[in-house]
Structure 1
Amino acid sequence: MNPAPSVIIFTVFSGMGFGYLALLATVHDYSGIAAFWHWFVGYALATIGLAASAFHLGNPSRAWRAFTQWRSSWLSREAWGAVLALLALAPVALSDWLHLGLPRGFGWPGAVLAVATVAASGMIYASIRAVPRWHHWTVPVLFVAFACAGGSLLAGLRGPSLVALLVLGGLMVLYWRVGDGAFSRAGSTMGTATGLGTLGGVSVFEPAHTADNYLLREMIYAVGRRHAAKLRVLALLLAVVLPLLAMLLLPGRYGPYVAVPLHLLGALAQRWLFFAEAEHVVGLYYGKR
């Protein structure tokens, strides 16, 4: 799949933002101007990510239609979850800022909605059978793990950050191991794609067309195995290993200052690979798989 920058920014920033907002609503208890800036960062990350997603649409002015298909579309459920989470968290944010004293228990519904929104983002991809690498439970769990790790680092919670990073590292490796054999396990071949497999071996004689088209641009993207392996190591180092060491070795508040940008770079690298390595079955029609 074509790793479009808008979708990469959307999934990474919104996930970190919603993870941070969930922690602000339930664990942290800032007040005054400090609360304003912490909540501002969380809302900014979440809304920047959601705004970036609109630029990936063919016609961004019709983005509102995403809210109409919540019965069948994970994209629609994600949109509703995001709006409801931001609205549900607003009273807690205002209470912290204006010293209104609202109990932290009021933040739990919004926190649950925030986590559910991130899970729905992952389910958008996990529900696509035509991309076997994504069609697995590890995808939404990985999205939530990134949100938890990023949110914990932003919140400066040393213990939860260490646990979240270790879990995230294990899930990243598991996702890659499961995904590498997913296309072959799905049993899709050029014969099954064309329906001619019962007649014998099927191969492409000539491409269906000579000009570029949407399918070739968006659904068929190849990244070399050597490059993918290097990027996996880089993503794991930046997203997990180096932030873990920063939180362990650097004193006080300096750990998050180093760990957060490193983790963000690693999350961007992992999400680029998430799309670049995804093999869509439509590539079989062009002899690309």
Structure 2
Amino acid sequence: MHPAPSVIFFSVFSGLGFGLLFWLGLGWPSPTGVVAFVFFAIAYLLAVGGLIASTFHLGRPERALKAFTQWKTSWLSREAICAVAALLLMAIYGAGAVFLDENWRVIGVLGGVLSLGTVFTTSMIYTQLKTIPRWHSPLTPLNFLSLSIAGGALLAGQVTWALWLIVIAGGVQLATWIIGDRRFTASGTTLATATQLGQIGSVRAFEPPHTGTNYLLREFVYVIGRKHAFKLRVIALLLMTILPVILLLIPFSHVAGGLAVLAHVAGVLTARWLFFAQAEHVVGLYYGKR
């Protein structure tokens, strides 16, 4: 798949924002006044900013509101509804903390659960696609959720939780890569099965369908070299897991904490770029790209 920057930014930063809202909703931490305003401002900038970034990848952004009408069949619609519900509930909870020095725990917990629900629905947009075997796996929602919760813990200053959750998220990411590399072959989809001609002999493409490019090639057929991908995986794992853990294990300081956040975000951005760049769509078989 073509790794569009808007979708990468959306999935990474909205995940971090909703992850932070999850921890705030649980009451870890439970700030009030100005401190609460800062925490909620960061969470909303990330969550809402990520959602806005996603609209840049829409063919007709002016029709975005129609996404709310297809909740029975569309994970995109469920994501939109879940996001609005989470943001509204957390706005009420945040207003109580900022202006009234109150932590309405029931509202916070409900908002936190809906925040994670939003991340889950986002992941299911990709998980449901059988045409991309690498994504069509339970590891996809597990990957999105683990990174959201771990990143949220880091932003919320929950150092002990962040240490363990970042390690777990790194393990899930590693498993996602290792198992994902075998998904396309394991799916059994080949040019023979795609054309239903396998029963009469070996099937191969005689000539390319056309000499120029088209929408399908631009969006669904993106090829990245194995050595390049391996280097990026190492960089992603170092930044999103190993370096933040080291920084969190040394005596705490705001500088070390800030560097841990920056390293983690950079690593997640790299991993998410690979998530899209290495997604082999079966349409590539038609063009001899798989």
Residues 39-98 of structure 1: CA distance to partner in whole angstroms, max 9, x if unpaired?
010001000100010000011111111111111111111111111100011111001111
1:108 and 1:57 map into 2 onto residues whose CA distance is: 32
Q: Does 1:202 align with 2:203?
A: yes
Answer whether contact 1:81 1:117 (CA < 8 A) is retained: yes
1:101 is matched with: 102
1:171-199 CA deviation, whole Å, 9 max, x = no partner? 01111111010001000000111111111
**Matched residue, 2:72:** 71
The one-letter amino acid of 1:267's match is V
Aligned equivalent of 1:166 = 167
Given that residues 142 and 171 in structure 1 are in contact (C-alpha distance below 8 angstroms), is that contact kept between their aligned partners in structure 2? yes
Task: Give the corresponding residue for 1:10.
Answer: 10
Q: Partners of 2:191 and 2:272 in 1: how far apart?
A: 28
For 2:9 and 2:160, the matched residues in 1 are separated by 27
- How do 1:31-46 and structure 2 match up within 5 A? 31-46=32-47
2:17 touches 2:45 (CA, 8 Å); kept in 1? Answer: yes
Task: Give the whole-Å Cα distance in 2 for the aligned partners of 1:162 and 1:255.
Answer: 13
Q: State the AA in 1 paired with 2:258.
A: Y
What TM-score comes out, normalization by structure 2 length?
0.97
Structure 1 counterpart of 2:20: 20
What residue in structure 1 maps to residue 235 of structure 2? Answer: 234
Q: Distance in 1 between matches of 2:102 and 2:95?
A: 10
1:201 positional shift: 1.0
Aligned-pair Cα RMSD in Å: 1.0
Alpha-carbon distance in structure 1 between the residues aligned to 2:252 and 2:92: 34
1:275 Cα deviation after fit: 0.5
Query: Residue type matched to 1:10 in 2?
Result: F
Q: CA deviation at 1:250?
A: 4.0
More displaced stretch, 206-215 vs 107-116? 206-215
The Cα of 1:251 is off from its aligned counterpart by 2.1
Give, as a single letter, the amino acid of the residue that structure 2 aligns with 1:127. Q
Which amino acid letter does the alignment assign opposite residue 145 of structure 2?
Answer: V
Name the structure 2 match of 1:54: 55
Matched to 2:19, the amino acid is G
Is the counterpart of residue 179 in structure 1 residue 180 in structure 2?
Answer: yes
Aligned with 1:21: secondary structure? helix
Aligned length: 289
Deviation of residue 103 (structure 1)?
2.9
Deviation per residue, 1:233-288 (Å, 9 max, x gap)? 00000000000111111424333211101000000000000001110000001111
% same residue: 49
**2:15 partner letter:** G
Q: What's 1:274 paired with?
A: 275
User: Is the 2:153–2:162 Cα contact (8 Å) retained in structure 1?
Assistant: yes
In the alignment, the residues of structure 1 paired with residue 242 and residue 103 of structure 2 have an alpha-carbon distance, to the nearest angstrom, of 38
> 1:6-63 CA deviation, whole Å, 9 max, x = no partner?
0000000000000001111212111111111110100010001000100000111111
Cα distance in 2 between the residues matched to 1:102 and 1:161: 23
Where structure 2 has 5 or more consecutive residues not aligned to the other structure, the ranges are none
CA distance in 1, matches of 2:101, 2:249: 36
Q: Deviations over 1:184-230 (max 9, x none)?
A: 10000001111111111111111212221110000000100000110
Unaligned runs of 5+ in 1: none
In structure 2, C-alpha distance between the alignment counterparts of 1:195 and 1:148, rounded to whole Å: 44
- Could you list the runs of 4 or more consecutive aligned residues of structure 1 that deviate by over 6 angstroms after TM superposition? none
Distance, in Å, in 2 between the alignment partners of 1:90 and 1:143 is: 24
Counterpart of 1:256?
A: 257
